[in-house]
Copies of this chain bind each other. A is one copy, B any other.
Amino acid sequence: MLLSPADVNPPTEERSIRISELADVTGIPVATIKYYLREGLVPRGRPTAPNHADYDTSHVQRLRVVRVLREVGGLSIETIRQVIAVIDDPERPLHDVLGAAHRAISPSSSPVAAPDREMAEVDRLLGRLGWDVDPNAPDRRELADALVALRSLGHDVTADSFVPYARAVEPIAADEVAGLPAASRDEAVEYVVVGTVVYGAALAALRRLAQEHHSARRAADRRSLS
């Protein structure tokens, strides 16, 4: 994915920003910024006078990621707090930060116990693909649930039916990870959430459009034969 967050954080020297400027730059109303400050989602500024504080570009980045988690990810304040806690924990590597962002925006699994047989099939599939994925990644469950759904509808399929889909998305995912901004953890989370949600919607739309195109071509071929 080709996001270019460069316009937001020019590598200039740090300067002080007032809360009204924060609102102008991020498009987030002052009242909402104050709410995020109270909720601890955004760190306090440097106090300059009673009831006044100065902020800096790190606050702009943090506000951007909170906005994206809310508006694009559709997350609750509580879930955003959990993601922010991982961002702010210097002991956690960037890979964990991405995992936390992924988990927050992934569809939540059915409360029914995971289907043993299908979970084992998905594990074997990921092994065959050679993918290094956390044994507790919730998307394993997503795949197992898809298999259960197909079988309950009477389709005699195995996890191998996912292989062409896995092969199709792997090069995309490699490019996406290669493009991850490394300088700021807030920026990295913003990139992952926007990329996963917005480009995910685009990917689904493109798949349907490509199906329509191939269906139209098939219909035209049949007309020309008859």
Contacts and interface: CB of A to CB of B under 8 A. Distances in A.
A161 B23 CA distance: 29
Contacts of A30: none
Contacts of A67: 153
A160 B161 CA distance: 30
A31 B99 CA distance: 46
B4 A216 contact: no
A175 B218 CA distance: 12
Interface stretch (A34-42, A51-59, A78-86, A136-144): A136-144
Q: Which of A140, A173, A178 has the most CB of B within 10 A?
A: A173
Interface string A186-219: 0000101010101111111111111111111111
Nearest to A150: B198
Given A202-B162, A213-B133, A208 B146 contact: no
Given A154-B5, A204-B204, A210 B131 contact: yes
Contacts of A208: 102, 106, 139, 196
A205 B146 contact: yes
A183 interface: no
Interface string A84-98: 000000000111001
A8 interface: yes
Contacts of A219: 93-95
Interface in A109-163: 126, 131-134, 137, 139-140, 142-143, 145-146, 149-150, 153-157, 160-162
Nearest to A97: B215
Contacts of A210: 131, 166, 169-170, 172-174
Given A168-B172, A172-B168, A146 B201 contact: yes
Interface of A: 1-5, 7-8, 64, 67-68, 72, 93-95, 98-99, 102, 106-107, 126, 131-134, 137, 139-140, 142-143, 145-146, 149-150, 153-157, 160-162, 164-166, 168-178, 180, 190, 192, 194, 196, 198-220
Q: Give 8 closest A-B pairs by Cβ, nearest first.
A: A173-B210, A142-B205, A177-B214, A131-B213, A95-B219, A139-B205, A2-B161, A169-B207
